[in-house]
Amino acid sequence: MKVKGEEYRTIWMEDSTVFMIDQNLLPFEFVIYESKSYFDTCFAISTMVVRGAGAIGAAAGFAMAQAYLEAPDDDFLNFILQAKDDISATRPTAQNLFYATNRVYLAGKKSVEEAVKEAFLIADEDARDSRLIGQHGMKLIKDKARILTHCNAGWLAFVNYGTALSPIYMAHDDGKDVFVYVDETRPRGQGARLTAWELENEKIPHKIIPDNAAAYFMAKGEVDMVIVGADRIACNGDTANKIGTLEKAILAKEFSIPFYVAAPTSTFDMDCKHGNDIEIEFRSEDEVLYQTGTDKNGNLNKFLVCSPGSHALNPAFDVTPKKYITAFITEKGIINPFTQSIKKACKELKCD
């Protein structure tokens, strides 16, 4: 995607350094973060400098490749195994992280060069799959569609294009008149900060709405469809995504609004039988208690926005049961969970 006329990927690697857009500073500052070691890249993943299923996967793949490049000859295997554990421990929910780490780890058993090659391949596949998701998903979008999305599953969350936003971008480029309701997505505000920034950058009409306003607009008949991304999809179709996704799915079901999950087949976890098996990450309470913004002079600051002395609970994801999902939009096409076996469809699509 282009920023100020220049083409960018969300994350890329040059020599042994990984470069990524610092998402913690958006939309106020556009800064490229440099990770010079696998441990730096682990830090970037865990602190959400890079975030989103595909981007996390690409970062994990690059981190594993960095580990192979850094490993000392006299302790090579132990270094690699420790690095693999460190990378896997950064975020527990996103399937793409483990998928990419394992692929590069196995490739590196052949040679360091093969590990680096595999990491680049994973990033390229992510960009390609996101583009294909857009091509398949845009067919579901009618002219003048009013679409609600949650969190950020745009190009920032992947290497390029994104998942939930990719069909919207392509529908817009195809000349369709689309409007997007952007859930703010508390506590970190990925909708208000990242999705809105992307849509503004692409000149797509949108409005940010409070997380608890979706029912109001649905009840008014002002939402035609919901498209969200996914961090892990169990083989029965249960889907983990950013906290708040479940309530949007329940509301969509109540008001007979199609609810689509857009994700590459690398996000399907065939070793996970159902949603109860998905580990849900709990993050720091500070993300709830504090917010980051700019003061009147444009300086970026952290502000306490809750009652002093109170504590918070901060689950980062929830799980939406398959029964609430109309269909999955993948790079290979549309999967209908009610007419197709998820496991069979995934096997046929070679997502395992």
Active site (catalytic) residues: 231
Listing DSSP states for 65-90 in one string gives: HHHHHH--GGGHHHHHHHHHHHHHTS
Rounded to whole angstroms, how far apart are CA atoms 241 and 125? 21
Residue 6 makes CB contacts below 8 A (sequence gap 6+) with: none
Rounded distance, CA 161 to CA 164, Å?
9
CA 151, distance to chain mean position in Å, is: 8
**What backbone torsions phi and psi does residue 75 show, to the nearest 5 degrees?**
-145, 40
- Write the Ramachandran bin of 304: left for phi over 0, alpha for psi from -120 to 50, otherwise beta: beta
CB-CB neighbours of 221 under 10 Å = 10
Question: Beta 239-242 vs 317-320: how paired, if at all?
Answer: antiparallel
